[in-house]
A and B are shown apart, each in its own frame.
Chain A
């Protein structure tokens, strides 16, 4: 059975007219939905097309714009050297590299790294953020447009375990979360000037989740819940305050957000309210974030079990144990889900099989903590040492 990308693309709107359906412009792809909207979908029987050695650590995802793959990593004894790479998606040739220096704190738990947040793009620019709160904007050819040091600006905005929230870009505004126990903030930054459009205090608590985009509103998740903000002004559009996870992020479709809260809670937010559709205590995501394909939601729990459930009411359909442990989030195109295990097993899951089935595995023989990227008929994954194109 062939994937049904057209069905998926009808659910997801691209955040910028400059992006194409084959692009994967941020953490978990278009709108952070984890779903590829492209018509040229990779199949299940993938193999390594090319791989490239990287000079530093990182668990950020690659992003893809056109034929360019962008990836970050950090090197040096304190991971203070911050790299941004641009490779040709076709053949892996390096197109450019920039190396900057961290201006914020680089301390992080050994399992994560300074290059933890995934960069994002509006189709014209690439925004690279690091756990040190350093933020660089380049055009697609590597010209530096502006930079910020958010810990240089706000000296207590840091987390000694490291931070990983990935930025999103919408309405000419880059939304960056720097949420921690001390000076916890989110900022909306003008993509042209690099200056703040707005800055908001956020709950004083460590937070590693990333925002999702829902109906042109940026949904910021934290231990307190999920807050929808207008990207241009920072004004709160709606607020869900019943608590939420601080590691797995939400899943989003055009009609609902599925937030890791009291298990999993489905919301239908609109201006002034975030009404609850249903809640399922048993659908608690582990580290990875859930995703929606068609009328089903897929949740990867803390024991490495993938659960399929209905988006109508949260009723479970099947459970499938994957090779773990798993730190990255699943992504999908058509009816195939792709995920990597920490031990390097790239797994392809056929969600249409009666009980779900892992139909293909590639042993990449490395520690993989990243979330894959899907673009133009290929899947991109990375480790601390390598970037792979699987096709």
Chain B
């Protein structure tokens, strides 16, 4: 009787099996902004974390296509299940590896899957790493790129420049993160193989610029100057203390900075616009990624994508990632860039960098 009871309790406590996970997964995937769905998710999370380790691939699959909030709920649940599984040596390593190998799964849970393998069997993770060089996840690519960087460094230390160059070139082809790209570009330049960084990143280098419109008291940010109403590249308009007309501008900067100070001089309290057209080979999802420390707005095909009125707090590559739908053929891109009144030396920049890429950061190049 006692044995039967224990067996019964054991059976019921082991495992909330796969069939019963769909409801809690659904509750967690339903969470959204401002805490919506939190109460149900709290209960669902408790249920999920009681699940048997064999259900880990299903919980990981629950992250596929989930919003970032739901991803975090599930990431935490996977962590709890995996902690116990690793401790009791019950991590279903083969099915987790199969989940990682299936690139139809979303990048986020595949990264989690790789982390689990690294924790449970580091030697297996090491073995898998080279296969991730062309992975759809830029986060997973970091590992093999780092290996190639290391291999190149070792070749170079032995004086084998050709082998080092080959390792670096192979790494560069797959690198998507700025820190690795910068490192590789410098090494390759030193070896006489300079990298076309604008092409690698997908920076848009050729623009039409118009300025100066006013931004006194930062009012220009919300003022609709003529370029927001019409794109007439042969037109001129009354500007701030000068006539504003479109000029051609091609960036020579390897990180694609479009610098209004160059043609218009270092003005303050002014607004400028940049316009370009991106000829897309196909209709597709993409991202416009922007770095800018001035107030800015961006439109794609006349639709406002985002606006931000922060000034001189810093800029970096891919500071803002804006998901877009490119149409086949010509896509118009308009950027508004507002310089403010500050006079400190670190407030001189009146510029932006913009690239078109996919959601892993791989450049999408315009049709020639």
Contact = CB atoms under 8 A, between A and B. Distances in A.
Contacts of A193: 35, 38-39
Which are the 6 A-B pairs with shortest beta-carbon distances? A195-B35, A160-B313, A103-B68, A160-B314, A146-B38, A194-B35
Interface residues of B, number: 38
A77 B179 contact: yes
A182 B296 CA distance: 12
A180 B310 contact: yes
Interface stretch (B7-15, B70-78, B193-201, B260-268): B70-78
B69 A149 contact: yes
Max chain A Cβ within 10 angstroms of own Cβ: one of B42, B142, B306, B313 = B313
Interface stretch (A93-101, A218-226, A268-276): A93-101
A77 B146 CA distance: 12
B76 A160 contact: no
Contact of B68 (A101, A159, A180): A101
A166 B73 CA distance: 23
A159 B69 CA distance: 21
B68 A206 contact: no
Contact of B309 (A99, A181, A196): A181
B33 interface: yes
A155 B142 CA distance: 28
A135 to B, nearest CB: 10
A103 B69 contact: yes
9 contacts: A98-B76, A99-B79, A100-B75, A107-B316, A134-B72, A146-B35, A146-B41, A161-B313, A193-B38
Interface string A171-183: 0000000001110
B289 interface: no
A147 B79 contact: no
A147 B308 contact: no
A156 interface: yes
A105 B306 CA distance: 15
Nearest to B340: A181
B73 A144 contact: yes
Nearest to A155: B306
Interface string A126-170: 000000001010000011111111001101100111000000000
Interface in B304-330: 306, 308-311, 313-316, 319-320
B71 A101 contact: yes
The residue among A99, A107, A147 with the most chain B CB atoms within 10 A of its own CB is A147
B358 to A, nearest CB: 18
Contact of B314 (A96, A107, A136, A144): A107
A124 interface: no
B344 interface: no
A100 B313 contact: no
A45 interface: no
Nearest to B34: A153
Given A99-B79, A146-B38, 12 more contacts: A77-B179, A100-B76, A144-B73, A145-B42, A147-B72, A148-B35, A153-B34, A156-B309, A160-B315, A182-B308, A182-B309, A206-B313
Given A77-B177, A146-B41, A160-B319, A100 B72 contact: yes
Interface in B76-95: 76-77, 79-80, 83
A152 B33 contact: yes
Nearest to B139: A76
Contacts, number: 93
Centre residue among B34, B45, B315 by max chain A CB count within 10 A: B34
Contacts of B309: 156, 181-182
A321 interface: no
A105 B310 CA distance: 14
B73 A147 contact: yes
B232 to A, nearest CB: 31
Contact of B319 (A96, A105, A206): A105
Contacts of B311: 181
A200 interface: no
A144 B76 contact: yes
A105 B314 CA distance: 13
Nearest to B315: A160
Interface string B29-45: 00001111011011001
B270 interface: no
Given A149-B69, A196-B35, A99 B75 contact: yes
A275 to B, nearest CB: 34
Contacts of B140: none
A181 B77 CA distance: 36
Interface in B35-72: 35-36, 38-39, 41-42, 45-46, 49, 68-69, 71-72
Contacts of A146: 35, 38, 41-42
Interface in A184-199: 189, 193-196
A77 B182 CA distance: 13
Contact of A101 (B35, B72, B319): B72
A239 B71 CA distance: 40
Contact of B313 (A96, A147, A159): A159
A107 B313 CA distance: 10
B293 interface: yes
Given A107-B316, A161-B313, A181-B313, A152 B69 contact: yes
B338 interface: no
Contacts of A152: 33, 68-69
A194 B75 CA distance: 18
A146 B39 CA distance: 8
A189 B35 CA distance: 9
Contacts of B288: none
Contacts of A180: 310
B108 interface: yes
